[in-house]
Amino acid sequence: MSGESTSPEQEERPLIAVSRCLLGEAVRYDGGDRRVPWITDVLSVHCDLMPLCPEVEAGLGVPRPAVRLVGEEGSLRALGVDDPHLDVTPEISCYSARKVQQLEQVDGLILKAGSPSCGLTDTPRFNPSGGELGHGAGLFNQAVVAAWPALPVTDEVALASEVARVAFLMRVFRYRCHRHSQALVQARVPNSP
């Protein structure tokens, strides 16, 4: 509600960006979601969540043709699975370059595993004939890591255990603490003439 002041407890809450499909939003290419109850029902009590979906926010719509990553590291393209002439690399890359600039206040990210956009390490890569070349990061995640190399980023698969969830949250709180310290230092440095 407007006009309400923020409590000290709210000010301490970390901000975590989360893939929209993990929050239960029907944004996947097939109109489905991949809701993770721990994120929606538990994490949301302790942290503020910032939903994001690179493919929908890049304007690709729901439902949309499935895409996969084709090529080698450094020259990856997001091409249609059924129609290899469909190339949505410019849309996803353009969105990613814009969105990472808005992550300055974010303390961590939880992204969807295996996705051509959001995947961390397990997104399949293919050659133009459809043969698998290996696995790696999705296009949006690559942009995040390049822009914010120290930012804690994980996926829902890595957060399957209680131990992993606690470890991730510790990284988030440490990062937040460091970010605030840096901001304080910068605020105290006098402007150069």
Residues at the contact surface with ligand SF4, assessed by CB under 6 A: 19-21, 27-28, 53-56, 112, 115, 117-118
Minimum distance from CB of 175 to ligand SF4 (Å)?
22
Nearer to ligand SF4, 14 or 54 (CB): 54
Minimum distance from CB of 157 to ligand SF4 (Å)?
12
Nearer to ligand SF4, 31 or 180 (CB): 31
Minimum distance from CB of 117 to ligand SF4 (Å)?
4
Nearer to ligand SF4, 89 or 117 (CB): 117
Q: How far, in Å, CA of 38 to CA of 188, rounded? A: 39
Minimum distance from CB of 124 to ligand SF4 (Å)?
14
Q: What is the rounded radius of gyration, in angstroms, for the C-alpha atoms of the chain?
A: 18
Minimum distance from CB of 82 to ligand SF4 (Å)?
17
Q: How far, in Å, CA of 149 to CA of 147, rounded? A: 6
Nearer to ligand SF4, 93 or 117 (CB): 117
Q: What value, to the nearest 5°, has the Cα angle with vertex 105 and ends 191 and 69? A: 125
Half-sphere exposure of 63 (CA within 13 A, CB side): 5
With CA atoms as reference, report the closest residue to 57 among 107, 99, 13, 24: 99
Minimum distance from CB of 107 to ligand SF4 (Å)?
19
Nearer to ligand SF4, 146 or 170 (CB): 146
Nearer to ligand SF4, 81 or 173 (CB): 81
Task: Yes or no: say if 39 and 17 are a contact pair by the CB < 8 Å rule.
Answer: no
Task: Yes or no: say if 175 and 129 are a contact pair by the CB < 8 Å rule.
Answer: no
Q: How far, in Å, CA of 146 to CA of 186, rounded? A: 23
H helices then E strands: how many in the chain? 7, 8
Q: Are strands 77-80 and 67-70 parallel, antiparallel or unpaired?
A: antiparallel
